[in-house]
Amino acid sequence: MGKEMVMAKDGKEKGAESRKENVQQKRLKNREETLSKIKGFAHDLVQEIEKAENPHIDIPVRGSSNVAFDEKNKKIVLGSKVAKRYLFNVAHARRFMQTMLVASYVKKDLLENNLTATLRDLYYSKKHTISGTKEDTIDEQKESDLAIVDFEVALDTFRERLHLRAEPKGRMAGMFTIRDYVQDRESLIDLSKLGSGGLAIPSIVEQIEFVDYDIDYVLVAEKNAIFDRLNEDEYWKRNKCLLMTTAGQAARGARRLLQRLSGELKLPCYALTDADPYGWYIFSTMKYGSMALAHESDRLGCKELKFLGMSISDIEHYDLRNVTIKAKDVDIKRAQEMKAYDWFKSKPWQKEIDKFLDKKVKAEIQSLSSKNLQYISHTYLPEKIKSQDFLP
């Protein structure tokens, strides 16, 4: 099932120059779009000031009181509640000022210079003592982080469009060629030729182009150890898949990339985590988004993602009873909470959680090593995928 995508195979081909120009124009357009949103945002405030009104920002309310599950689109979303933040209100003024600092940094330091930065860079850059006072603009980074999210939701955009990076995490390998850009430098990257390390998944993946590929699905493993096992067994080559690891809870880059692979290339995506509530949580965050980032589910959730395993039924089916781990009280409590979440209300998941609550044991993916090291590559994964034995 070989697939071939548009684009030149190397930068020297005919048409490469115009392709490069197109890409640069697209990136410029994205920047200008965000800049114009920021200008609009500022313009509204200036108008209020000119009319001698109390300048305010509309900020959609975050937090559980305004978070809902969109059943149809399979994502955790923000509701319609909006808070108004006023400059002339002692309870609002500080956060109002901090939101302006964020806006100014994003516009002048980042977008206009075409640079990216971390939340911490922003904090350091905008923290100072307000002249004539003993008051600091920002005391703790927590404050500027909140102001950044305020600004994101007020602008109806997302962090990467504001050129703000998160901590990168995860690796990938497969018969897959991508093109990545750092400023004007482009790299054509063949993910089948990166040895035992693989490509580190960057924090911002918006600019990545899918050049060509020969794969049938994407397999995303929670653990580095599983990536290393499958990479050593050349699982991705033998089974035509793109192999990713999130190295724990998935970072923004890995989540967005998964969404793009599923949405743009229509590739089936399967998640592989431990059989425990933490594994389910990692899965559900990749699939539906999270309550904390409900405003970003649109671009971080991969609604077609399926849970390959490890399931509680796998423990019996693959005779792993001797290598399970007794669930702790905190696991039981977490499972009970998750059972009540709207996004775990489907019958198969309710059954899965009930089974866990009944048996009170969990299992790690690595417990398959008790059979033999390559059991996961040669037996477990091929069987599960062949029988399409997934949880939704």
Q: Which spans of this chain sit near a second copy (rule: CB under 8 A)?
A: 109-110, 113, 115-118, 120-121, 124-125, 127-129, 165, 167-168, 171, 178-183, 185-189, 193-204, 207-208, 224-225, 228-229, 231-232, 234, 322-323, 364, 366-370, 372-374
Q: Does the bond joining 100 to the residue before it have cis omega, within 30 degrees of 0?
A: no
Closer by beta carbon to a second copy, 179 or else 362: 179
Q: 3: phi > 0 → left, psi -120 to 50 → alpha, else beta; which?
A: beta
Q: At what angle do helices 93-104 and 16-50 cross, to 10 degrees?
A: 150
Which contacts of 97-100 are long-range, i.e. CB under 8 A and separated by 24 or more positions?
97/137, 98/126, 98/137, 98/138, 98/143, 98/144, 98/146, 98/147, 99/57, 99/147, 99/150, 99/151, 99/154
Closer by beta carbon to a second copy, 46 or else 182: 182
Q: Supply the minimum distance, in Å, between the C-beta of residue 67 and a second copy.
A: 29
Closer by beta carbon to a second copy, 226 or else 300: 226
Closer by beta carbon to a second copy, 148 or else 204: 204
Closer by beta carbon to a second copy, 4 or else 232: 232
**Strand 75-78 to 67-70 pairing:** antiparallel
Q: Supply the minimum distance, in Å, between the C-beta of residue 342 and a second copy.
A: 34
Please give the structure tokens belonging to residue 248: 């724990």
Q: Supply the minimum distance, in Å, between the C-beta of residue 270 and a second copy.
A: 21
Q: Supply the minimum distance, in Å, between the C-beta of residue 37 and a second copy.
A: 22
270 is catalytic: no
Q: Judge whether 257 and 206 are in contact, CB under 8 Å.
A: no
State how far the Cα of 68 lies from the Cα of 81, in Å rounded to an integer. 11
Determine the 3-state secondary structure of 59 from DSSP.
Answer: strand
Q: What is the CA radius of gyration of the chain?
A: 23
Q: Which residues lie below 8 Å from residue 295, measured CB to CB, with a gap of 6+? A: 60, 62, 77, 78, 149, 152, 153
Q: Supply the minimum distance, in Å, between the C-beta of residue 21 and a second copy.
A: 19
Please give the structure tokens belonging to residue 254: 């890995």
Pick the catalytic residue from 124, 281, 341, 375.
Answer: 124
For the annotated catalytic residues, the residue numbers are 124
